[in-house]
């Protein structure tokens, strides 16, 4: 092959296997070698499942040789955020609290990936329990951004973002409660998709906040995310939040373009927010202009209750506290300090606070539902600023100001995708975000793909020569 395996996107790996140019064992060995070579610096993985991955790859190659192909993920090496259960493999959720926890059963999404023929490479680094802040110490340090290893990759799905961007797997799963898929995807220059609430089961996933948690794909391209999402979406009788209807075809309109679509720009709350980095603003506006050049109609829209979204979201710390209550009381110092602070804040939320938050959440939902009756999707910057230096990241903030770009869409459970839309003067990735109607992932993916097809941002790769600490 003319392109090294680890520089391919997921589709490239799949197609190379289909052409007979690459076996699953060869691909798996290439990723394992790259992990061995670079992960001491990048810190994307908590657990590498080398023996199991190679055994799965051999089995996939045997099936392929016998004419059996389970689908596009057959034999493709992927990895999972370390709050997604894999039977018999340690699952830490990035915390000392679960340092020795070994689940006996696969998560629903793990079962789905196995059924699709994917090879599981390992478990990826994350912020503690999906809400702690970046950690630089053992046993579970946060990953480093492959575009500049002095900078953070955002969280909490930090390892998923790093591993995909650095070519340490062909694709990954993350979780998103307030932006934990989209933040790392935006800052690592990849695609990240938070699906509609209820499209993907959370059974076997360590919860942060039951009413806000989502599991979704993180990949190098839109097609890759569509295929990964297709594999994991669907009803789970053991997760009452999942929808019984069949999942839509994620690639059904992927190449249909945007001509005739109406896109709403949340200009007041997002584009004109004073805290938005100027380079992010310029890149996002240029991305919107590109969609307009392709035939989409743009109009400014607004939802006034967005101003209250961060405060609404913060009250749901009560759910996080409830999950951890007994363990936190018994072993408080096994939690990192930033997580302890957030848990204590959750303990202070009253029933009246939650009731008011639910009423405001319903009001926001009505406003946004009205917008999505007028337009097909919403577009705005994917994040507030490029990746920060690791030492500059605050461990005190309950919610970073930039979370305004992601957390409202967890409150509303709407599908939201970030796609690369440029680089800063310092060479750091920038992103556009697209939000759609409930269970209309095909349209969200269609818009993202139309933009991606017109650009080459998704083809850029970080330089491994920079993956050293001096």
What DSSP line would sit under 308-331, residue for residue?
Answer: GHHHHHHHTHHHHHHHHHHHHHH-
| Straight-line distance from the first to the last Cα atom of the chain, in angstroms, rounded to the nearest whole number | 34
CA distance 167 to 31: 7
Q: Is the pTM of this model over 0.95?
A: yes
Question: For residue 310, is pLDDT > 80?
Answer: yes
Domains and CATH numbers, the chain: 6-465 (3.90.1300.10)
CB under 8 Å to 98, separation ≥6 — which residues?
A: 91, 92, 206
Provide the 8-state DSSP code for 141: P
394 among known catalytic residues: no
Neighbouring CB atoms inside 10 A of 354's CB total 15
81 among known catalytic residues: yes
CA distance 297 to 355: 38
Question: For residue 252, is pLDDT > 80?
Answer: yes
Going from the C-alpha of 368 to that of each of 305, 356, 374, 377, the distances in angstroms are 9, 19, 10, 10
156 among known catalytic residues: yes
Which residue in 24, 56, 160, 180 is the catalytic one? Answer: 180
Which residue in 24, 56, 95, 156 is the catalytic one? Answer: 156
3 band by pLDDT with thresholds 50, 70 and 90: confident
Question: For residue 397, is pLDDT > 80?
Answer: no
Which residue in 56, 81, 157, 407 is the catalytic one? Answer: 81
Instruction: Render pLDDT for 216-248 as a digit per residue (tens, 0 to 9).
Output: 999 999 999 999 999 999 999 999 999 999 999
Question: For residue 395, is pLDDT > 70?
Answer: no
Stretch 148-158: mean pLDDT: 96
Burial (0-12, 13-18, 19+ Cβ within 10 Å), 19: exposed
392 band by pLDDT with thresholds 50, 70 and 90: confident
């Amino acid at each position: 092959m003319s392109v090294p395996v680890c520089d391919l996107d997921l589709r490239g790996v799949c197609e190379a296997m289909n052409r007979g140019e690459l076996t699953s064992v060869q691909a798996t060995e290439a990723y394992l070698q790259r992990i061995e070579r670079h992960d001491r610096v990048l810190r994307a993985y908590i657990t590498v499942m080398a023996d199991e991955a190679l055994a799965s790859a051999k089995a996939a190659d045997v099936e392929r040789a016998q004419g059996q192909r389970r689908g596009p993920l057959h034999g493709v090496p992927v990895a999972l955020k370390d709050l997604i259960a894999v039977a018999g493999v340690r699952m830490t959720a990035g915390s000392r609290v679960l340092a020795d926890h070994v689940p006996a059963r696969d998560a629903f999404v793990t079962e789905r990936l196995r059924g699709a023929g994917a090879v599981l490479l390992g478990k990826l680094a994350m912020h503690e329990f999906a809400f702690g802040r970046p950690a630089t110490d053992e046993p579970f340090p946060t990953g480093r951004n492959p575009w500049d290893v002095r900078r953070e990759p955002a969280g909490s799905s930090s390892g998923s973002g790093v591993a995909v961007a650095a070519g340490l797997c062909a694709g990954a799963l993350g979780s998103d409660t307030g932006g934990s898929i989209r933040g790392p995807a935006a800052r690592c220059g990849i695609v990240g998709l938070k699906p509609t609430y209820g499209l993907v089961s959370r059974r076997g996933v360590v919860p942060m906040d039951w009413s806000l948690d989502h599991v979704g794909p993180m990949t190098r391209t839109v097609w890759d995310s569509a295929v990964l999402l297709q594999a994991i979406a669907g009803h789970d009788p053991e997760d009452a939040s999942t929808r019984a209807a069949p999942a839509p075809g994620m690639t059904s309109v992927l190449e249909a373009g945007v001509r005739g679509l109406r896109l709403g720009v949340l200009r007041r709350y997002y584009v004109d927010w004073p805290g938005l980095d100027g380079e992010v603003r310029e890149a996002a506006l240029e991305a919107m202009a590109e969609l307009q050049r392709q035939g989409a109609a743009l109009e400014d829209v607004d939802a006034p209750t967005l101003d209250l979204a961060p405060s609404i979201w913060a009250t749901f710390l009560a759910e996080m506290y409830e999950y951890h209550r007994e363990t936190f009381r018994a072993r408080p110092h096994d939690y990192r300090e930033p997580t302890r602070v957030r848990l204590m804040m959750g303990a202070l939320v009253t029933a009246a606070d939650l009731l008011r938050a639910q009423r405001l959440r319903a009001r926001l939902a009505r406003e946004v539902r009205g917008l999505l009756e007028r337009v097909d999707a919403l577009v705005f910057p994917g994040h507030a600023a490029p990746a920060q230096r690791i030492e500059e990241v605050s461990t005190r903030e309950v919610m970073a100001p930039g979370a305004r770009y992601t957390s409202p869409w967890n409150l509303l459970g709407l599908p939201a995708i970030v796609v690369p839309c440029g680089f800063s003067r310092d060479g750091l990735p920038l992103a556009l975000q697209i939000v759609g109607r409930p269970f209309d992932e095909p349209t969200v993916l269609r818009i993202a793909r139309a933009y991606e097809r017109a650009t080459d941002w998704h083809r850029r790769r970080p330089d491994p020569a920079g993956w050293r600490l001096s």
